[in-house]
């Protein structure tokens, strides 16, 4: 069993102030795979004090040097990719090949993009040519608390740490207690890259303990949070007392609007996207809206594609779907599948219970419901599992109404071969991102949502900007 009880504070691995062991459960086997400590308010305070002490020096470090340290971090990240993949796979259940490629790959992609974006950005510049005595200076927000979820651990951690470091913030990372091992490997990489003491600190803990302490701490200037809408609301309330900046990346209930003229692979692509990472993605296209002319055919294809998705252990190599993260999520997903049945949706693939040939592990059958109506629970709640809801529509207007009829607004998807319609849809869908015809967003594009999906933007220059204040100076003497 892996034992990793210490925290990384002020450049050292230190024992928790009050010991509180927590077992990490391998979702493929339901067996404990590691023991960590859950920190206390005192541990959080120690990390905040270290970050606060390191702030003036780090802010004063020229941005070129901060970028160079992130470049070094990226180099070491690439060398330790296998350790990161193994530690994610065992704790949160991503099949090892998915962990090696998509999960680890997301982290290196983001670090690279931050480096490229920062090299082009003017952190200190005149307001414009007409006003040389007005200066715009981008400066770090200050001490940042970074609270991350378990579903795409390295994606989330690099999005926050890379941006905060380049912006000049010092930080305390509190990773999810469900996937703490990868974060601890990441802390080793930061240490090896040679960041000054106190710039990066890591304290494990749960939401009510370390999470709450950090979001309410008077010496924390910003909380950057990715996770559930429930926790985002709690954090915002707690942070309000100290009026700190709160950056939120929350849940989603993305619509994937498939028009009758969509390309022939659109439905299959949508189903596989839904099942990727066992449906545990905030931007999952979980509501497939299909135009009536192709509805029956689309349902048939979706059922067939889902029924062919293999399910297996995260330890096995190959292109299969792993378990969901834990028992609580498994039970929640089972409850929602049952609710779909009870509320009258038509089950066309998967369903309740463990998949065939499994008697333990948090495995879920790849599930598809047809004839879902927008008022059903499975069309409204984020399921965060491999469950797709198919909804029929007739007209473009109706599709827009259904797609926007959600409290979330993270990513929507459009499938049509009519470019004018695609562009019209992109303008009216109320979400931070719209992806059309399977084309992914390019390097440096911002990631983030509207409504209850949050208010922040991560990745590229947008992500760095979120960790900076804009200072306007008048009476500046050009140098
Ligand atoms: P969660 O909200 O339960 O936990 C996320 C993190 O917040 C964990 O580190 C947890 O310990 C901490 N936390 C929980 N309650 C807290 C509180 N009251 N105060 C401070 N910290 C607290 O979410 P999860 O189950 O780990 O992740 C799944 C959720 O994350 C889904 O809703 C998903 O959509 C969302 N998510 C969003 C994005 C995005 O970028 N929009 C990306 C990934 C995941």
Question: What integer pLDDT is reported at residue 479 of this predicted model?
Answer: 83
In 3-state terms, the chain is what percent helix, strand and coil (to 5)?
40, 20, 35
- CA–CA dist 158, 86 (Å, integer): 17
State the closest ligand 1 atom to the C-alpha of 177, by its place in the atom list counted from 1.
11
Interval between CA 170 and ligand 1 midpoint (Å):
21
Give the C-alpha distances (Å, rounded to integers) separating 427 from 287, 379, 431, 478.
19, 23, 10, 42
Token duo for residue 382: 């984020």
Give the C-alpha distances (Å, rounded to integers) separating 157 from 5, 34, 93, 305, 451.
20, 20, 18, 32, 23
410 lines ligand 1 (CB under 6 A): yes
Buried-exposed string 140-151: b where 16+ CB fall within 10 A, e elsewhere: bbbbbbbbbbbb
User: What's the pTM?
Assistant: 0.97
CA 216 to chain centre: 22
Q: DSSP state, 432?
A: S
State the closest ligand 1 atom to the C-alpha of 174, by its place in the atom list counted from 1.
9
227 lines ligand 1 (CB under 6 A): yes
DSSP H stretches of helix in 80-121 = 81-92, 96-98, 104-120
Question: What integer pLDDT is reported at residue 39 of this predicted model?
Answer: 98
Other Cβ atoms closer than 10 A to 214: 31
Does 317 qualify as catalytic in the annotation? no
Interval between CA 159 and ligand 1 midpoint (Å):
15
Catalytic: which of 282, 382, 435, 458? 282
Does 282 qualify as catalytic in the annotation? yes
Interval between CA 382 and ligand 1 midpoint (Å):
13
Contact between 447 and 410 under an 8 Å Cβ cutoff? The reply is no
182 lines ligand 1 (CB under 6 A): no
Q: Tell me which residue has its CA closest to atom 9 in ligand 1.
A: 176
Instruction: Report the CATH fold assignment for 255-430.
Output: Aldehyde Dehydrogenase; Chain A, domain 2 (3.40.309)
User: Which of 228, 380, 441 most suits a substitution to test ligand 1, by most atoms within 8 Å of the C-beta?
Assistant: 228
pLDDT in tens, the chain (479 residues): 899 999 999 999 999 999 899 999 999 999 999 999 999 999 999 999 999 999 999 999 999 999 999 999 999 999 999 999 999 999 999 999 999 999 999 999 999 999 999 999 999 999 999 999 999 999 999 999 999 999 999 999 999 999 999 999 999 999 999 999 999 999 999 999 999 999 999 999 999 999 999 999 999 999 999 999 999 999 999 999 999 999 999 999 999 999 999 999 999 999 999 999 999 999 999 999 999 999 999 999 999 999 999 999 999 999 999 999 999 999 999 999 999 999 999 999 999 999 999 999 999 999 999 999 999 999 999 999 999 999 999 999 999 999 999 999 999 999 999 999 999 999 999 999 999 999 999 999 999 999 999 999 999 999 999 999 999 999 999 88
Contact between 432 and 411 under an 8 Å Cβ cutoff? The reply is yes
- CA–CA dist 479, 476 (Å, integer): 9
Domain map of the chain by residue range? 2-251+453-473, 255-430
Interval between CA 214 and ligand 1 midpoint (Å):
14
Question: What integer pLDDT is reported at residue 19 of this predicted model?
Answer: 85
User: Which of 231, 254, 332 most suits a substitution to test ligand 1, by most atoms within 8 Å of the C-beta?
Assistant: 231
Question: What integer pLDDT is reported at residue 100 of this predicted model?
Answer: 98
Give the C-alpha distances (Å, rounded to integers) separating 406 from 8, 254, 433, 451.
40, 9, 15, 9
Q: What is the dihedral of CA 136, 145, 238, 284, to 10 degrees?
A: 90
- CA–CA dist 200, 202 (Å, integer): 7
Same fold, 2-251+453-473 and 255-430: no
Interval between CA 207 and ligand 1 midpoint (Å):
9
Other Cβ atoms closer than 10 A to 80: 16
Strand-strand pairing, 12-14 and 7-9? antiparallel
Q: What is the CATH number of domain 2-251+453-473?
A: 3.40.605.10
- CA–CA dist 231, 408 (Å, integer): 15
């Amino acid at each position: 069993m892996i034992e990793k009880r210490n925290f990384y504070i002020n450049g050292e691995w230190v024992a928790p102030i009050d010991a509180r062991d927590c077992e990490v459960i391998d979702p493929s086997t339901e067996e404990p795979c590691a023991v960590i400590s859950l920190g206390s308010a005192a541990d959080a305070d120690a990390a905040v004090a270290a970050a606060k002490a390191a702030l003036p020096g780090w802010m004063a470090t020229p941005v070129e040097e901060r970028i160079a340290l992130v470049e070094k971090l990226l180099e070491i990240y690439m060398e330790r990719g296998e350790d990161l993949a193994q530690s994610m796979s065992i704790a949160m259940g991503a099949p090892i090949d998915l962990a090696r490629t998509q999960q680890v790959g997301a982290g290196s992609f983001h670090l690279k993009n931050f480096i490229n974006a920062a090299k082009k950005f003017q952190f200190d510049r005149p307001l414009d040519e007409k006003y040389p005595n007005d200066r715009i200076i981008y400066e770090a927000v200050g001490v940042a608390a970074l609270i991350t979820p378990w579903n795409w651990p390295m994606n989330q951690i690099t999005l926050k740490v890379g941006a905060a470091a380049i912006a000049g913030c010092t930080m305390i990372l509190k990773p999810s207690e469900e996937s703490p091992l990868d974060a601890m490997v990441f802390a080793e990489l930061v240490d090896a890259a040679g960041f000054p003491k106190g710039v990066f600190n890591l304290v494990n803990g749960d939401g009510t303990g370390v999470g709450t302490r950090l979001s309410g701490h008077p010496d924390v200037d910003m909380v950057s949070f990715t996770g559930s809408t429930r926790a985002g609301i709690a954090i915002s309330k707690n942070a309000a007392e100290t009026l700190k900046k709160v950056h939120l990346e929350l849940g989603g209930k993305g619509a994937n609007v498939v028009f009758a003229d969509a390309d022939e692979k659109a439905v299959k692509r949508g189903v596989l996207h839904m099942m990727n990472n066992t449906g545990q993605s905030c931007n999952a296209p979980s509501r497939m809206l299909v135009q009536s002319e192709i509805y029956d055919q689309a349902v048939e294809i979706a059922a067939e594609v889902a029924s062919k998705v293999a399910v297996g252990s995260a330890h096995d190599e190959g292109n299969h779907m792993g378990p969901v993260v834990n028992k609580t999520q498994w039970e929640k997903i089972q409850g929602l599948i049952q609710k779909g049945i009870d509320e009258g949706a038509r089950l066309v693939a998967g369903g309740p219970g463990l998949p065939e040939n499994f008697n333990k592990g948090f495995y879920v059958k790849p599930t598809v419901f047809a004839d879902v109506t927008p008022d059903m629970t499975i069309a409204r709640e984020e399921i965060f599992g491999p469950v797709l809801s198919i909804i029929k529509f007739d007209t473009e207007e109706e599709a827009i109404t259904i797609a926007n009829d959600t409290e979330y607004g993270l990513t929507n998807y459009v499938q049509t071969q009519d470019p004018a319609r695609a562009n019209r849809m992109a303008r009216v869908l109320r979400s931070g991102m719209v992806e059309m015809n399977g084309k992914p967003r390019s390097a440096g594009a911002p990631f983030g949502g509207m409504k209850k999906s949050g208010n922040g933007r991560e990745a590229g220059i947008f992500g760095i900007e979120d960790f900076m204040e804009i200072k306007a100076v008048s009476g500046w003497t050009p140098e």
